[in-house]
Amino acid sequence: MTRTSLYSRITDITEEYLGPAAERFVARQITFHLGKAPEELSPDDLPKLIQWTKVTFSLLTEDRDAIEEYIHKMEQLASDDET
């Protein structure tokens, strides 16, 4: 998997919850919390990215079910990348 496609897959998941703001949200999480460009994202970055997106997503909504569903999809993506 290329790093760009990993970023795209994360953005696609996030878009289900944040709509057109997803790309900007994901890019900012990667840039700010991981200190790298979105194109540099690697599977090794996913655990830390998942932690930060959970915290930030929780600030955007009180819908715990949506938050848990979102994080579950992100964790599945991380599991898929390990195989």
Six token digits for residue 42: 């690697």
pTM, two decimals, is 0.84
| C-alpha separations of 83 from 37, 74, 76 in Å | 24, 15, 11
Integer Cα distance of 18 and 24 in angstroms: 10
pLDDT given at position 82: 59
Helices and strands: H and E segment counts in the chain: 4, 0
Residue 19 is part of which domain span?
3-82
| Domain count for the chain | 1
| Nearest Cα to Cα of residue 77 among 49, 35, 56, 58 | 49
List, for residues 63-74, the tens digit of each pLDDT value: 999 999 999 999
**Is the separation of the CB atoms in 4 and 57 below 8 Å?**
no
Block means of pLDDT (10 residues each) for the chain, length 83 residues?
72 95 96 95 94 94 94 89 59
pLDDT given at position 36: 96
